[in-house]
């Protein structure tokens, strides 16, 4: 198998600071042009800001939603890219507006802040921000519920296998699912540690797995373990970050899962919200409420460079389209 094209910073190690932006591109060809120009200039912006402190390892991933892809690029969208599927069970996972996704990471929050400022200044009215989350690493990689987060992330060569499309036109790219969860910490903290551990499926202090036989089938660890037809566990790369405002009483987790196939992440979410079997929902959702949801595709570096130079084909009265040819975005699948 030939080497994969260079990916964006999808497989970068977990950082101590992150900033995630999700925005909507107006129905305006000029806005689409501005976004494509940013695709070409983004690596230079990252270098300019990151050069102030190279050791901070500033990086940025940009991804695009299914509905904006044909407007931006005209080229066929990645095969598995589609609008995020809302889930309605005992608890709901909403699908919320989002055309462009930006994931900024560094060891210092000021670099993420500066890069986001520069990016939004470049985009101007071409992007209407819908979600902004400034995350931080909390103690020993714990979430605000007090448990270590991301323990099941793959390591070594398995990271690329889990996160990157292995072949085809979009090889080296990655599907990202992004959700913002808000926690009811007073209700969660009213549980004793043993009850919390049964919800999560791990011991709180040392992060060791609790034996499956000693857990309810609704434990978070069990419902988010997905296996393929051959029984092998299917993995994703999580880059979750806590966020919050003590003064506002807001405490949450930004869930971000990169995957070579979004169906893996979607299966985990269906198990959580709808149950496996149906009705056996993840009890963590009794304390954590999903308020946003989006699915995006982050192209490889060379694909992003090529897409920056592309534009949808537009026929005009002076240059009619040939019979049977594509007539613009209406002929492309969403």
What does 231-258 look like in DSSP terms, one character per residue? SPEE--EE--EEEEETTTTEEEEEEEEE
What is the predicted pLDDT for the residue at 314? Answer: 52
- C-alpha 19/C-alpha 132 separation (Å) is 7
Task: State how beta strands 174-183 and 250-259 pair.
Answer: antiparallel
Convert 264-283 to b/e letters by CB count within 10 Å (16 or more is b). Answer: bbbbbbbbbbbbbeeebbbb
Catalytic residue among 149, 239, 276, 282: 149
Judged by DSSP in three states, 36 sits in: helix
Q: Residue 7, by phi and psi: left (phi above 0), alpha (psi -120 to 50) or beta?
A: beta
How many helical (H) and strand (E) elements, i.e. helices and strands, does the chain have?
Answer: 9, 14
Determine contact, residues 12/59, Cβ cutoff 8 Å: yes
Determine contact, residues 61/10, Cβ cutoff 8 Å: yes
Global model pTM greater than 0.85? yes
**Cβ within 8 Å of residue 54, ≥6 positions away:** none
In DSSP notation, 118-162 reads HHHHHHGGG-EEEEEEEEE-BTTTB-TTSSB--TT---TTHHHHH
What is the predicted pLDDT for the residue at 334? Answer: 30
What is the predicted pLDDT for the residue at 313? Answer: 59
Could you read off the pLDDT tens digit of each residue along the chain, which spans 334 residues? Answer: 678 999 999 999 899 999 999 999 999 999 999 999 999 999 999 999 999 999 999 999 999 999 999 999 987 899 999 999 999 999 999 999 999 999 999 999 999 999 999 999 999 999 999 999 999 999 999 999 999 999 999 999 999 999 999 999 999 999 999 999 999 999 999 999 999 999 999 999 999 999 999 999 999 999 999 999 999 999 999 999 999 999 999 999 999 999 999 999 999 999 999 999 999 999 999 999 999 999 999 999 999 999 998 877 554 344 343 333 332 323 223 3
- C-alpha 334/C-alpha 89 separation (Å) is 26
What is the predicted pLDDT for the residue at 9? Answer: 97
What is the predicted pLDDT for the residue at 311? Answer: 77
What is the predicted pLDDT for the residue at 76? Answer: 84
Count CB-CB contacts under 10 A for residue 239: 28
Residue 261 designated active-site: no
Torsion 278-284-289-290 (CA) sign: negative
Token match 């599907």: residue?
A: 175
- C-alpha 92/C-alpha 205 separation (Å) is 30
Determine contact, residues 23/127, Cβ cutoff 8 Å: yes
Determine contact, residues 25/35, Cβ cutoff 8 Å: yes
Judged by DSSP in three states, 223 sits in: helix
What 8-state DSSP symbol labels residue 76? Answer: P
């Amino acid at each position: 198998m030939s080497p994969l094209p260079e990916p964006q910073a999808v497989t970068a190690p977990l950082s101590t600071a992150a900033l995630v932006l999700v925005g909507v591109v107006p129905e305006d060809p000029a806005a689409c042009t501005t976004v494509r120009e940013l695709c070409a200039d983004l690596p230079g912006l990252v270098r300019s800001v990151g050069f102030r402190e190279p050791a901070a390892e500033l990086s940025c991933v940009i991804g695009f939603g299914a509905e904006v892809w044909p407007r931006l690029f005209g080229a066929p969208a990645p095969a598995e890219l589609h609008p995020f599927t809302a889930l309605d069970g005992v608890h709901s996972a909403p699908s919320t507006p989002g055309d462009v996704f930006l994931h900024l990471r560094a060891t210092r929050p000021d670099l993420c802040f500066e890069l986001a400022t520069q990016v939004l200044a470049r985009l101007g009215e071409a992007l209407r921000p819908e979600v902004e989350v400034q995350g931080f690493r909390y103690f020993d990689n714990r979430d605000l519920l007090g448990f270590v987060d991301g323990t099941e992330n793959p390591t070594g060569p398995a990271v690329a296998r889990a996160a990157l499309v292995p072949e085809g036109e979009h090889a080296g790219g990655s599907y990202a699912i992004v959700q913002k969860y808000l926690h009811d910490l007073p209700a969660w903290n009213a549980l004793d540690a043993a009850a919390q551990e049964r919800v999560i499926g791990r011991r709180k202090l040392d992060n060791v797995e609790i034996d499956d036989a000693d857990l309810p089938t609704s434990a978070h660890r069990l419902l988010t373990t997905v296996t393929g037809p051959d029984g092998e566990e299917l993995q994703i790369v999580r880059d979750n970050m806590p966020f919050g405002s003590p003064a506002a009483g807001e405490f949450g987790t930004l869930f971000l899962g990169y995957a070579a196939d979004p169906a893996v992440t979607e299966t985990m979410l269906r198990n959580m919200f709808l149950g496996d079997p149906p009705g056996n929902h993840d009890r963590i959702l009794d304390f954590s409420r999903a308020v946003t949801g989006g699915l995006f595709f982050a192209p490889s570096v060379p694909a992003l460079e090529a897409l920056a130079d592309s534009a949808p084909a537009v026929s005009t009265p002076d240059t009619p389209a040939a019979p049977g040819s594509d007539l613009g975005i209406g002929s492309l699948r969403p």
